Amino acid sequence: MTNPATMADAPVALVTGASRGIGQAVAIALARAGMRCILTARTQGGLEQADDQIRQHTGHSATLLPLDLTDGEKLDTLGPSIAAGFGRLDCVVHCAGTLGMLSPLAHLQPKDWERALQTGPLTTWRLIRTLAPLLERAPAGRAVFLTDRHACQPAPFWGLVAATRAAQEAIVSTWVRELPTASPLRINLFEPGPVATRLRRLAMPALDMASLPTPHDIAPHIARLCQPGPQPQGQYITPDLQEFVA
């Protein structure tokens, strides 16, 4: 368990989509690595489950912030709220996301695009905007954004996913290129591949989930990218940590 005397000085991590799946597994991994975790998701019950597991492993509780990230006005207050409550933010892992409509492009409706753009690239941009001041002044700031291989490998019926993920990747990569050369902040994209999650079951109900890695198999790869010390910058990273220029 983490020494209580050291927790006040421990780095602070924010994990979105922390109520289940990869987000919940990453939150537990970061807490076990000694970080004070702020968990956000829409589902209070799922956040409480994550907190129960964090307390079981570390003896400490996380800070739970039930939040719909598509509520732009509330999302805009996230950075200032963290600054007021913690005075710092060292890491963010953006796991929150939705599957979106899987459909032939010609069958998509404007409302499908509006919803996907709101939950995808617009939320990513707002998250960066509200957290950047804290992360950019952290001594070893880290930001990891989950992405999807369809952004660079579009497939039939996945056009909406491909377009919105590609937009998210462009936003993140632009942020990297806007940083001063000497900035210690490290920002990367992480593509987990097929993982046994609820979204994967929704997308491919006939797929044998037992054959896939679990969120807890993937979480340590993401947690390593959040640690101080030498880290890649602006890379597209897969679970085997092969790196490609984003």
Q: Which two tokens stand for residue 79?
A: 């950075």
> Residue range 113-139: average pLDDT?
95
Q: What is the pLDDT of residue 130?
A: 98
pLDDT band (50, 70, 90) for residue 245: very low
Residues of the domain holding 185: 4-245
Q: What is the CATH number of the domain that holds 181?
A: 3.40.50.720
Q: Nearest CA to 86 among 107, 112, 114, 65?
A: 65
Banded pLDDT at 151 (limits 50, 70, 90) = low
Share of the chain above pLDDT 90, in %: 70
CB 40, CB 16: distance < 8 Å: yes
- pLDDT (0 to 100) of residue 5: 45
Q: For the residues 4-21, what does the mean pLDDT come to?
A: 85
How high is the pLDDT of residue 203?
Answer: 52
What pTM does this model have?
A: 0.89
Q: What CA–CA distance (Å, rounded) separates 86 from 158?
A: 40
As a whole number of Å, the CA-based R_g of the chain is 17
Q: Kindly report, residue by residue over 66-99, the tens digit of the pLDDT.
A: 999 999 999 999 999 999 999 999 999 999 877 6
What's residue 8's pLDDT? Answer: 76
- Can you give the pLDDT at residue 209? 63
> How many angstroms separate the CA atoms of 41 and 159, rounded?
26
Q: How many domains does the chain have?
A: 1
Rounded to 10 degrees, the C-alpha dihedral 242/97/246/143 comes to -80
Half-sphere exposure of 227 (CA within 13 A, CB side): 11
* 41-55, 130-144, 185-199: the lowest-pLDDT one: 185-199
